[in-house]
Structure 1
Amino acid sequence: MARTTYQDLLDAGVHFGHLTRKWDPKMAQYIFMERNGIHIIDLNKTVVKLDEAATAIKQIVKSGRKVLFVATKKQAKDIVADYAKSVNMPFVTERWLGGMLTNFATVRKSIKKMSNIDKLTKDGTYSNLSKKERLMIQRERIKLESLLGGISDLNRLPAALFLIDVKKEHIAVSEALKLNIPTFAMVDTNSDPSNIDFPIPANDDATKSISLVTGVIIQAIQEGLEERKRDKEEEAEKEAVAAKTKVDSNEAAPAEGGKRKRVTADVEAEAVAPAAETEAEGSEE
């Protein structure tokens, strides 16, 4: 069953592409027609591609890995940041730093620097500094927060990227390609979908379109997280039952062993008795 309908996409304006003179020929397979100098996206293909992307991203999240959301364009950043926060996923909405993936170790150092500044404010060291030093540290903290605040909990490379406007986020796409990280993206008629693993043909400029498509992806992530939680609970229940069964069998084992020893002793006693009687008869003679 599709996660959204043709009508929902139509109402959100997902079908509006760019001017025909700005199109990328590689998007021809996803274009339905031209109207008033604007390309119209085939929403039937959008429904299929969106469902494929949502299913794949759900499996990634279910395995316990993270998806990094990337949207630095003005009309998308707030929408994507709010959605990503709702499912506790990392996001970049201010500026993509070159090497954020390919030079991840250095980025982690900057994140650690941000956490060290936070420690200074908590242990009282910050209040002992001069006013000028405090101001410099505060400015640096604000700058780091704006650039790296969305990935402060990302301890390792993400398992996938979800992008809005691959043309604008071309650096992120190229870094993901180098590291073989799968990419999911909204691709408009002026963009090249060939480097994207799961392209979603859609209008990447309208807020309603961005909100609808991103919302479907977030819904898939929520499903993946819930299924992962449910699987963990079932596994914990199985382990608890197995542990209880083992304890019960260990408690029953000594009782059975004792009974076996008593039976063995009775058999030995029966075998000794006839021999003793025979010896007694021999002595009487």
Structure 2
Amino acid sequence: MANNIEVKELLDAGVHFGHLTRRWDPNMAPYIYMERNGIHIINLYKTAAKIDEASEALKKIAASGRKILFVATKKQAKEIVAEKASKANQPYITERWPGGMLTNFVTIRKAVKKMASIDRMKKDGTFNTLSKKERLQVDRLRAKLEKNLGSISDMTRLPGALFVVDITREHIAVKEAQKLNIPIFAMVDTNSDPRQVQYVIPANDDASKSIDKVMTYVSDAVIEGLSERKASKEAPKKEAPKKEAKADAPAKVEATVEAPVTEAAKQEEE
């Protein structure tokens, strides 16, 4: 994976641009290369190494079958994160973070089930028996639930990890994950405290190009992990028919042995 991460690509995407020097967090000092025109410049060699480290860990989590919840509610990250997470078949939150999403997961699951029950009502015809006003209320509730929780409808248990874009903005999500000891992966800019997360990716978390570039590496790693899991599941299925074929082999041998004997018997009869 490390060989695939080109520092030049990160540079072209503007991953190296940090915040104004007066807005920096001193704990980000190890990841800062220099200061230019009052802006901190991130060390992209460290960024590349951290992306590689995070990607390997995410690949293992995906291969184990656990979900990775992607969180990004800022305008420039919403669509990118939704697209990359969907491509990797992972849950994501791009609207407002629902308080207690992790710490009160049972209640969130109830809301998701409510969405499923409304869908069942529409299928079995119960929905049509409601009055016009009730149908309108149910439709509004369904739309609201879909907007906020539709992207996590397949997440039946707590995620194996959290991937966050901008930990300062998503501080509630970070705190909930910390409370439950869920590993946190994050794009961390120069104005944030990297000590809050286990896997830090020092990067510009404001520019859409930067977010897209890092998310591409991350989602590819998750997809790779899912492919490995699928391959390991299919391997035993492929071995089973081979064993059956071996069992059939003696029968074929017997058939070939019997053939000459019957030919010889025919000659004797003649």
TM-score, normalised with respect to structure 2: 0.89
SS class of match (1:95): coil
CA deviations on 1:139-181 (whole Å, 9 max, x unpaired) are 1111111110110010011101111000011111111111111
**Map of 1:245-260 to 2, 5 A cutoff?**
none
1:100 aligns with 2:97: no
- The equivalences for 1:1-285 within 5 A come to 1-241=2-242
CA distance in 1, matches of 2:241, 2:161: 34
Deviation at 1:240, TM superposition (A): 4.3
CA shift, 1:35, in A, is 0.6
Q: How many Å apart are 1:78 and its aligned residue?
A: 0.7
CA contact (8 A) 1:2 1:48 kept: no
Is contact 2:63-2:226 (8 Å) kept?
yes
Tell me the secondary structure at the aligned position of residue 196 of structure 2.
coil
Secondary structure at the counterpart of residue 186 of structure 1: strand
Task: Answer yes or no: is the 8 Å Cα contact 1:2–1:47 preserved in 2.
Answer: no
Q: Is the CA contact (8 Å cut-off) linking 1:165 and 1:187 kept in structure 2?
A: yes
Structure 1 gap ranges (5+): 253-285
User: Identity over aligned residues, as a percent?
Assistant: 60
Contact conserved, 2:88 with 2:220, CA < 8 A, in 1? no
> Is the 1:61–1:221 Cα contact (8 Å) retained in structure 2?
yes
CA contact (8 A) 1:62 1:224 kept: yes
The number of equivalent residue pairs is: 250
One-letter code of the match for 1:36?
N
Root-mean-square deviation (CA, aligned residues, Å) is 1.6
How far apart in 2 are the matches of 1:3 and 1:51? 9
Gaps of 5+ in 2: 252-270
Give 1:248 shift: 6.8
Distance 1:184 1:165 in 2: 11
